[in-house]
Chains A and B, each alone.
Chain A
């Protein structure tokens, strides 16, 4: 493998990790607040459709992004009403959200655009363009570091930079702000938070609003940055991989970034190689595809470290009378 092959695989890794990372951070907020969120997939899918549809009609990627975030937020709030206000089963709410998004996007897509569920291909301005960082072309000639800067770090969509910036923001919010402290507390011991005079319900709603907005970014990335327009079931289970990554990262922001990069790398690898050889044994591409899930199961089982989620996760909070 030469330098340019490695660079192109790593470049693909960054592109493929971005939606995972955004969705993973999204899930981090709700799960840290004590809400199991298996509805990441549905929120992303709904956002991808809304972004693709609005960007196609308006011709503006930014309006598309806004629409994606708004729809994802609405979906998150629906989930919030079920899981927080009505104290319903959070897992079932997530399943319902995923199914609702899968059905609605295909149904509306077909009815509105009549292209087999696809939204029309995006023209100029409807899709985000890649950003060349300053001096990228000038520094490209510098050995080793030049290509890394010009090809790997520069030349991505704005959402990619937002995603990686969000890791730092999330780490700061979670560990260095009052809101973050309360968020972590409400996921571990909501009664203590309540006793301190802080509203558990309000905190959980704040968390799920952030989750909705971040899933909106992730979804929009699929249809108006990476792709040009929405296609049926475009997120293709990435929401579940993001969930796996969140568990793998033990609900922490910086490990979440590395896990998403790892899972993105596996994805890039399986696209590039139809099969790999390791010590003369042929490794089928399906094994690489299944690896993120297998790794997560193995981790959850406590064979490599131990992943213990927020203690109050999955339990609706009821004030004692």
Chain B
């Protein structure tokens, strides 16, 4: 009798995430109140800091660029039923590909260097995800555990590469040689003075292309269809003649390549060189972004802007209200993951019941059941 009826699509993609987001903000607000600050004032500061002026908005877009890539990386894997938790490591090692190409070609022109660096970063990031994919497909080890391990292996590898291989003998700081300006991705402020000193750069165009590309890949290609079949039911996909292991390996590679684009934004667009820890947790933000965005490019775009705004606004927050540090943003992010990802069961059953009650065709049924219950 209590067969679960799915809630309408708009409620699934908009209402439920909105409720969860509001809940995350409410709990964060309570934490802010706990330390004796005014949460409404904090929100005001965040919104102004993220959107109120050119610099701030530019920073919001710069953060969002990273989150679009890592969010797409998580989403692509999720469609095939894989949880790629290693976006951080994949983006980190992709920095090697980006910096090597950029340094080799920085005397030419960014129009030459950038496409090749994109390919190199995608290849290295993709490889770092392909190995866990291969291990799951052929050797049966769980991709979640392997990608976690690969994050740590990447961290150790990069410390070695930066300190022992890429660092010029003349510098003390652990960083690679600086990329010549000619080989860097131009920043938007060079065209639009509106963006002030913010680091948002042309990598954002790649992010937009990636959003469209992933949309086409997942919903308008045979490969994307096979991916979704695998994600929905691996047994069915095998009977349909799809090679699951091949799908897993290719999907993970695409996922890692997308995460690797963070390196283009950071290494070629912002830092102009390879520094340690340049990913700064963007891979994990991608998990929150993909969950919020329901693994759909439009959702991911909106969620990336939201988290970009939170990161930039949070930076602002600690200057205006010294009582609140930017770690508050990590708390909000964690709560979003908790409520939209792990505690979905909190509201979905209630919503399902509510919609059942208020949809005309089910109303009579529900009323009949109510009366039967009260009469008995």
Q: How far is the CA of A99 from the CA of B341 in the complex (A)?
A: 13
Q: How far is the CA of A87 from the CA of B344 in the complex (A)?
A: 9
Q: Flag B6-34 by CB within 8 Å of A: 1 or 0 each.
A: 00000000000000000000000001000
A284 and B164 within 8 A (CB): yes
A265-291 CB contacts (< 8 Å) to partner B: 284, 286-287, 289-290
In the complex with contacts A38-B148, A111-B35, A302-B141 CB distance below 8 A: yes
**B325 close to chain A: CB less than 8 A:** yes
| A104 / chain B contacts, CB cutoff of 8 Å | 31, 327, 331
A237 and B152 within 8 A (CB): yes
Max chain B C-beta neighbours (<10 A), residue from A99, A102, A112, A294:
A99
State which of B325, B335, B344 has its C-beta within 8 Å of the C-beta of A88: B344
A290 and B152 within 8 A (CB): yes
B331 and A88 within 8 A (CB): no
Shortest Cβ distance from A82 into B: residue: B342
Interface size on B, residues (CB 8 A): 45
| B156 / chain A contacts, CB cutoff of 8 Å | 286-287, 289-290, 293
Q: Flag A67-105 by CB within 8 Å of B: 1 or 0 each.
A: 000000000001001110111111111011111101110
**A247 close to chain B: CB less than 8 A:** yes
Number of A-B contacts (CB under 8 A): 145
Q: How far is the CA of A280 from the CA of B122 in the complex (A)?
A: 36
Instruction: Write the nearest CB–CB distance from B114 to chain A, whole angstroms.
Output: 30
A293 and B35 within 8 A (CB): no
**A139 close to chain B: CB less than 8 A:** no
Q: Flag B115-138 by CB within 8 Å of A: 1 or 0 each.
A: 000000000000000000001000
B314-331 CB contacts (< 8 Å) to partner A: 323-325, 327-331
**B237 close to chain A: CB less than 8 A:** no
In the complex with contacts A297-B150, A300-B145, A301-B141, A99-B337 CB distance below 8 A: yes
B338 and A103 within 8 A (CB): no
State which of B31, B159, B342 has its C-beta within 8 Å of the C-beta of A89: B342
A290 and B85 within 8 A (CB): no
**A107 close to chain B: CB less than 8 A:** yes
Shortest Cβ distance from B348 into A: residue: A86
- Give the secondary structure class of A's interface: helix
B341 and A92 within 8 A (CB): yes
- Give the secondary structure class of B's interface: helix
Q: How far is the CA of A55 from the CA of B329 in the complex (A)?
A: 27
Indicate the size class of the contact surface on chain A.
Answer: 35 or more
Shortest Cβ distance from A301 into B: residue: B139
**A170 close to chain B: CB less than 8 A:** no
**A222 close to chain B: CB less than 8 A:** no
**B291 close to chain A: CB less than 8 A:** yes
| A87 / chain B contacts, CB cutoff of 8 Å | 345
State which of B145, B146, B333 has its C-beta within 8 Å of the C-beta of A103: B333
| B31 / chain A contacts, CB cutoff of 8 Å | 104, 107
In the complex with contacts A82-B338, A82-B343, A240-B152, A99-B284 CB distance below 8 A: yes
State which of A91, A95, A300, A302 has its C-beta within 8 Å of the C-beta of B284: A95
**B346 close to chain A: CB less than 8 A:** yes
Max chain B C-beta neighbours (<10 A), residue from A92, A104, A307:
A92
Q: How far is the CA of A184 from the CA of B246 in the complex (A)?
A: 34
Shortest Cβ distance from A247 into B: residue: B145
| A112 / chain B contacts, CB cutoff of 8 Å | 35
A residues contacting B by CB (< 8 A) are 36, 38, 78, 81-83, 85-93, 95-100, 102-104, 106-108, 110-112, 237, 240, 243-244, 247, 284, 286-287, 289-290, 293-294, 296-297, 300-303, 307, 309
